[in-house]
């Protein structure tokens, strides 16, 4: 395992790779769990070299408290990654190293992909994600970069940014990894009490039934059903449920043939905000 703390160290690592080595990048903010590890395993199976970046990016937090509370567990993360492979390079720079000219967010034209769902509730979040992912891609120059489908909107936005900036990289989306009770793996799950972690399995169960209902019922009816289910739940508070076209992320008007749809939710479990989604067809 190689730990790279600066852009210079990263550059010298890259200069030692062979010309035809394919490089996989797995960008993370640390606090690694099995979801991240599945991305790393996929990257290892596709590429000769794999870089995992660990960087808690300040420009994507619209809430300073959330940034302060975000778990920082570099030693444990290194330990986990070393168990997967001794061949990995970990790029873990400081904020000053990355944002050498000051912590600034770039603005992108995401064609509305950033205005719905997470974008509606987290001002400028996706410009922050675009800013850091563009920087990481320019620095590490990977052949492929890997992102989880739990953050499906983020995945579509990153694909858009790569197209806009004409970056020579293939973006690979990877399926959501779930806890045995169905809860989507997330670094935030660590902040849930044991009983809330059990309660939160309700989110995926509800999405699964919504998927079944989508086979025979209209989207507004499915949405109404999900809202009612959460209204009746004692401890989980639904922030939104949307059913959208997977490409444009525009909310569904009427079901159309040959269009793929997903249902997306954001839910508060106490003060922990969880997101999840499911492919509907």
Residues belonging to the active site: 36
Minimal CA–CA distance to 237: which of 272, 209, 264? 272
Determine, following the binding rule CB under 6 A, whether residue 28 of this chain makes contact with ligand PAF.
yes
The interface region with ligand PAF, picked from 21-29, 113-121, 205-213, 249-257 by CB under 6 A, is: 21-29
CA distance 93 to 119: 27
Min dist CB 132 to ligand PAF, Å, is 5
Determine, following the binding rule CB under 6 A, whether residue 105 of this chain makes contact with ligand PAF.
no
Minimal CA–CA distance to 32: which of 82, 105, 67? 82
**Residue 74: C-alpha distances to residues 32, 127, 206 (Å):** 9, 25, 35
Q: 77 or 151: whose CB is closer to ligand PAF?
A: 151
For ligand PAF, the binding residues in 250-269 under the rule CB under 6 A are none
The interface region with ligand PAF, picked from 74-82, 126-134, 195-203, 256-264 by CB under 6 A, is: 126-134
Query: Which pair of structure tokens corresponds to residue 129?
Result: 């994600």
Position among 32, 132, 219, 269 found at the interface with ligand PAF (CB under 6 A): 132
Determine, following the binding rule CB under 6 A, whether residue 145 of this chain makes contact with ligand PAF.
no
Q: Reduced to 3 DSSP states, what percent helix, strand and coil does the chain have, rounded to the nearest 5?
A: 45, 20, 35
Determine, following the binding rule CB under 6 A, whether residue 130 of this chain makes contact with ligand PAF.
no
Ramachandran assignment for 56, one of left (phi > 0), alpha (psi -120 to 50 degrees), beta (any other) = beta
Q: What angle do CA 227, 233, 235 make, to 5 degrees?
A: 120
Site string for ligand PAF, 54-73 (x = CB under 6 A): ---x--x-------------
The interface region with ligand PAF, picked from 24-32, 74-82, 95-103, 177-185 by CB under 6 A, is: 24-32
- Residue ranges that bind ligand PAF, judged by CB under 6 A: 27-29, 57, 60, 129, 132-133, 151, 154
């Amino acid at each position: 395992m190689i730990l790279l703390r600066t852009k210079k160290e990263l550059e010298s690592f890259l200069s030692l790779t062979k010309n035809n080595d394919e490089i996989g990048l797995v960008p993370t903010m640390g606090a690694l769990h099995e979801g991240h590890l599945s991305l790393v395993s996929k990257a290892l199976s596709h590429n000769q070299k794999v870089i995992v970046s660990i960087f808690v990016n300040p420009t994507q937090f619209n809430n300073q408290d959330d940034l302060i509370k975000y778990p920082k567990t570099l030693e444990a993360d290194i330990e986990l990654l070393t168990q997967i492979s001794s061949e990995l390079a970990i790029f873990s720079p400081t904020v000053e190293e990355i944002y050498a000219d000051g912590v600034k967010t770039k603005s992108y034209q995401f064609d509305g992909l950033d205005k719905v769902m997470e974008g509606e509730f987290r001002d400028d979040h996706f410009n922050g994600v675009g800013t850091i992912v563009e920087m990481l891609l320019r620095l590490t120059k990977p052949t492929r970069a890997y992102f989880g489908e739990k953050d499906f909107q983020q995945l579509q936005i990153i694909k858009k940014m790569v197209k806009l900036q004409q970056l020579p990289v293939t973006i690979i989306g990877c399926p959501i990894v779930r806890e045995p009770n169905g809860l989507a793996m997330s670094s935030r799950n660590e902040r849930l009490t044991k009983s809330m972690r059990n309660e939160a399995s309700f989110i995926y169960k509800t999405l699964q039934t919504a998927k079944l209902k989508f086979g025979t019922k209209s989207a507004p009816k499915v949405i109404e059903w999900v809202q009612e289910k959460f209204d009746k739940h004692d401890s989980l508070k639904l922030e939104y449920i949307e059913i959208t076209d997977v490409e444009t992320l525009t909310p569904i008007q009427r079901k159309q043939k040959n269009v793929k749809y997903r249902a997306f939710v954001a839910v508060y479990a106490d003060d922990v905000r969880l997101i999840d989604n499911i492919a509907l067809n």
